[in-house]
Amino acid sequence: METTAAVVIGSGFGGLAAAKRLARSGVTTTLISATDEHLFQPLLYQVATGVLPGSDIAPPIAAVLSGKKSVDVVRGYVTAVDAEAKVVTYRTPEGDRQIQYGSLIVAAGARQGYFGHDEWAQRTFSLKTLDDAVTLRRHLHDCFTGDPADEAAHRFVVVGAGATGVELAGQIAELGARHFTDVEPDVYLVEGAGDVLPVYGGALSDFTRTTLEKAGVQVLTGTMVTDIDDAGRVRVRDADGREQTITAATVVWSAGVQATGLAKVIAEATGCRTDRAGRLLINPDLTAGSRDDVFAIGDMTSLNGYPGQSPVAMQQGRHAADIVRGKTKPGTAFVYRDKGSMAVVNRHNAVVDAPGGVRLTGLPGWFTWLAVHLFYLVGFRNRFVAVASWFKAFAGRQRPGFDGLDARPGAAPAEPSLADRPAEQPSAEQPSAERSSAEHPSGEDRSGEPRRAHPVS
C-alpha cells in the first residue's frame, strides 16, 4: 500500500490551493483528481457560446503544479475512505488502489441540483464541466445554423438568473445579434426570486435586468418552473399564479446545486452531519465530524453561510494546509475574508460589488472583470490566447470557439481537436474525486442561487 503525509482529493481551486500551500513546507502530498485538467469554470459559458476554445480554460494539473516536487498527481475516482485506518481507496483504469495518509483534505465540490426533479437532468443542458460546455456549444451551433423556419430551434430558455444564467442568456442573445444574424433568437431567462442576480439586489440587479432586456432577453422573475417534458415544453408559473408554456429546443438549467456522492462517503466515515443538499456541516476549523485529521472544504461543505465560491474554497484550502503543516494551531477557526464579487451581463457590460461599498456597472465593470479573470487564468499561454479570442469576439464578430464546426445548415459538427476534447467524466451516481469545476468563481451561494465572485483570495 502506498503511504503519504497528506492526501488532497480534488483539483479545483480549493484542492490546488491546499496542495500548493503544503508544497511550501515540502509535505509529501498525493492529489487525486477525476480529470487531468484544472477547469477555470467561470468561463465555461464562453466555451459554450464559442468565445473561447475549451483548451484555453483547462490547463493540465501537472503543469499547474509543476515545480512542486513534493506533490504527486494521480487520476482516479475515490470510492471509499476508512477514517480509522486512514486509508483512501480510489479507482483507476488499471484497477482499484489504496493509499494511507497522515492527513486528508477533501474538496469534492458540487453538482447540479434539480430541487427534487432529477428527471429534468435528461431534458436540460447544464454547465458544470468542460464536457457540458462542449456539448452545449455543438447544440447551439446546430440551432443557429439550422432551418430558419424552425421556431423552437431558435428559442432558448435559461433557468436561473444567477451569474451563470445571466452571462449565458446575454451571450446567446449576442450570438444572434452579432454572429449568426439570419434569425433573431428568442431568449427567456427564468428566475424564481424577484430579481436577476438576487444576491446583489438594488442598482446592480436593476442594471442587469435593463441591459438584458435591451438586448432582447425576456426576463421572467418571480417565476417558478413547474414542469419540463421530453418535447422541450417548459411550464412556468409566476407569483400571481399565471401559467405559461414555452417550447424550446434548448433548455439550460443553472438554478441549484447539491453535493457530490463523495460527501456521503466522508459523512459516513467521519460521523459528519449533512444538510438537505448533502453538504457536510463541518466544524469551524474545517474538520469533518469527530476527526481532527480529515478536513473538508469548498462547495461540498456548509459553514457559517459562506457562499460556494472559489475564494472561499481557496482560503479554506490554505487554512487546512496550514494546520497540516504546523503553521496554524489545530482547532483554529476558519474566517472568510470577502473580497467582492462580479458578473458579466454581455459585451461591454458587467457588474462589480467590491468591498467598501464600491459598485461598478457597464464598461468600467466589464474592464474590471476582464482584468481579474485574465490575472487568474493559469499559464501565460492561456492568458495570451484568451486575450486574442476576446478581441476577436468582443471587438470583432468572430467566435474562435466555433472554429472547426461545419457551418453548413444541417451538417454535423466536426470533432473538436484533441486539445479541446474534455476528459472522461465520472457518472453522476459514482462517488468521485472532485471534478475540476468544483470550487469556482461562479459558484452557488447557500440558497442555491449562482453568485459570481472574482477569484481573489
Please report how the helices 13-24 and 310-324 are oriented relative to each other, as an axis angle in degrees rounded to 10: 30
Report the DSSP beta bridge partners of residue 234: 228, 246
Q: Is 395 exposed, middle or buried (0-12, 13-18, 19+ CB in 10 A)?
A: exposed
Residue 235: enclosing H or E segment and its boundaries?
strand 233-238
Which of 115, 207, 219 lies closest to 173 in space, CA to CA? 219
Q: How far apart are CA 171 and CA 375, in angstroms?
A: 22
Active site residue 167: yes
Side chain identity at 35, as an amino acid letter? T
| Catalytic residue of the set 84, 94, 151, 167 | 167
Q: How far is CA 320 from CA 34, 104, 118, 304, in A?
A: 21, 9, 34, 17
In 95-172, the DSSP E strands lie at 95-106, 110-112, 155-159
Q: How far apart are CA 299 and CA 443, in angstroms?
A: 8
Side chain identity at 52, as an amino acid letter? L
Q: How far apart are CA 52 and CA 273, in angstroms?
A: 40
Burial 286-322 (b: 16+ CB within 10 A, else e): bbbbebebbbbbbbbbbbeebbbbbbbbbbbbbbbbb
Q: How far is CA 301 from CA 259, 262, 381, in A?
A: 8, 11, 33
Phi, psi of 46 (to 5 degrees): -75, -30
- Catalytic residue numbers? 167
